[in-house]
Amino acid sequence: MKTLIKNANIITPYEIIMSSNLKIENGKILNIFDKEAFNEKSYDEVIDAEGKYLSPGFMDIHNHGNFGHDAMEGTKEALNTIANFHIKNGVTSFLATVMTEHPIKIRKAIENVRNYIEDRDNNANIRSQVLGIYLEGPYFSMEKKGAQPPEFIKSPDLVEIKEYVSLSNNNIKVVALAPELEGAEEVIEYLREKNITISAGHTNGTFEQIKKAIDLGVTQSTHLYNGMRAFSHREPGVLGAVLTDERVLCEMIADGIHVHPAAMNLAVKAKGKDNIILISDSMMATGLKDGKYSLGGQEVYVKNNAARLRDGTLAGSTLTLNRAVYNMVHLVNVDLKDAVRMASLNSAKAIRVDDKKGSIEVGKDADLIIFDDDLKIEKAIVGGRLRKLIPE
């Protein structure tokens, strides 16, 4: 199938090409051109971008759910709903987050995501693509547990993590853990051998402990500033380690609630455009009204877009990734092309799929979105095919 997208401002990793056109064939990006003559009749489908932006689809590698559902439900219906809501907000691919819970629930959620990915009938009618699993816990520091249920937090267990990886059929792409805990080193070494991204998360580690973990194979930090030891000029802690080490990519929740815009700006100055990953960390209330919801079996109260446990602890977010990109542009003054990179190419790099996804480059998968100046998603293309934006 051949598709033409015409009259678009195309966001590549290097520039925004104004008033240009893009060819898609068999689900891949074939060519980008501006002045070349073309015959629309030679295409199976022509999409007019009407002068709006054409961008790589966003990739949300850390999110729990949205629109009333959570990946921990362990059902196909939940993942369908989550995927439908994602595509409406420009996310063409994502990782389903499995969080700290009873091991039986963790296994059920992992198995469900594996089955969902392997279901050929489902993949034939792709919404937003599920690329794998983000395992957030249960190997965390009790001091920095955040909204992770404390009764299930434990030290890293090599036997258990091997079981989870096997159960997932190698679909676990990221494991977040506290590297300072007993047993963490052997788990990090195992995950590195399996080519699974290791993220320092919910950790009270010292600067030296985190630097050692980076040497062992940690390449990412989970929701920067949140769930980690605070910075001190005498003990820089987790922040000092991840912000100053170029081997580490840093996730960030750019909602203006989890992180102050000045702190976002500091992170961008420290890490540059290539090492910030925008995530939503969204929970089931995303896209719905204020009220009472749940996360990890705990009651969560949402008021004015902030999701908190009863004690006031932030419990995920109600952020969407298109809004995160908007916030980086308008709250932090990041160039649009760089903010888009933080929600697409950097995410793809983190889970090692940047050879085929995450940017508009010839030969890559045609996972694309069209949006206006306010980051309102007009159209989404997944695998070269135009996808319906499921209404609320």
Return the active site residues.
281
**Nearest to residue 379, comparing CAs of 124, 35, 13, 90?**
90
